[in-house]
Amino acid sequence: QSVLTQPPSVSGAPGQRVTISCTGSSSNIGAGYDVQWYQQFPGTAPKLLINANNNRPSGVPDRFSGSKSGTSASLAITGLQAEDEADYYCQSYDSSLSGSVFGGGTKLTVL
Amino acid sequence: QVQLQESGPGLVKPSETLSLICTVSAYSISSGYSWGWIRQPPGKGLDWIGNFHHGGSPYYSPSLKSRVTISLDTSKNQFSLNLTSVTAADTAVYYCARTPRDRGSNWFDSWGQGILVTVSS
């Protein structure tokens, strides 16, 4: 059971917009700690996609955006492309556990 | 561009100690940043193991704290992971990664390629 809760899967057609939610609690997201998002393709290491809730590292397309409100955060992907099909993980810091925590991951399928 | 590379045995026997090394290139681990380990059991999600910032003290996931040690070797620009008394539940791909801060809000901005460690007799 992950500390951060994500839907196991989401899907969308090419060109559409999809969102992936990440729900935490008062000891992590709700406490004001930043949320990060990672993209992982099969057999490869995760790649930082969004840090500090809504910042895109250099090289990340602006089709990816992050937001945070209360104890939850969301990753939005607009103009969905076949190459976006991957697993996505949210991550934050938890004060009760005194360390980083991850969501269980969401598999994005492009129809 | 910093690069990280994990190395170590791919097979460990139950009850023994899992030992991995992460070699960092193009950045000195004593110059800043924090250095961490994350693992991913086959077909499952990511689990944070622990972090160590040069000049600070290591901190670990509560679920692994009694069995894990992370160390820095600045002379070799490496950091290591030791996990004792392993069981089949410790079978996973182990990643080393870099974070910009010691604690609190943090993100893993550079990752190694990962190494699969299987616990089996």
pLDDT digits (tens, 9 = 90+) for B23-50: 999 999 998 899 999 999 999 999 999 9
- Contact across the interface for A34 and B47, Cβ inside 8 Å: no
Q: Quick one: how far is CA B27 from the chain centroid?
A: 17
Q: Give chain B positions within 8 Å (CB) of A20.
A: none
Size of interface A-B (CB pairs under 8 A): 67
Give A48→chain B minimum CA distance, Å. 6
Q: Are B17 and B119 in contact (CB under 8 A)?
A: no
Per-residue pLDDT, B54: 85
pLDDT at residue B105 above 90?
A: no
Residue A1 is predicted with a pLDDT of 85
Q: Identify the pLDDT of residue B43.
A: 95
Residues of chain A with pLDDT under 70: none
Report strand pairing: B47-53 vs B59-60: antiparallel
pLDDT at A64: 98
In Å, how far is B75's CA from the nearest CA of chain A? Answer: 27
Chain B residues close to A100, C-beta within 8 Å: 36, 48, 51, 106, 108
Instruction: Please report residues of A whose CB lies closer than 8 A to that of B60.
Output: 99
Interface of B with A in 43-62 (CB under 8 A): 45-48, 50-51, 59-62
Q: What's the number of CA atoms in the CB half-sphere (13 Å) around residue B15?
A: 1
Chain A nearest CA to B104, separation (Å):
6
CB nearest A93 (choices: B95, B105, B113):
B105
pLDDT band at B21 (very low <50, low <70, confident <90, very high): very high
Please, which residues have CB within 8 angstroms of residue B99's CB and are 6 or more apart in sequence? B33, B34, B35, B36, B51, B106, B107, B108, B109
Nearest to A87 by CA among A8, A2, A5, A3: A8
Rounded Cα gap, residues A62 and A59, in angstroms? 9
Beta pairing class for A9-12 and A106-110: parallel
B113 in contact with chain A, both atoms CB, cutoff 8 A: yes
Taking phi over 0 as left and psi of -120 to 50 as alpha, with beta for the rest, A60 belongs to beta
pLDDT, chain B, mean: 96
Least CB-CB distance to A102: which of B46, B62, B113?
A: B46
Which tokens hold the place of A106? Answer: 């969401």
- Edge-first strand order for the sheet with A64-69 is A18-23, A72-77, A64-69
Task: Indicate yes or no: CB of A89 within 8 angstroms of CB of B45.
Answer: yes
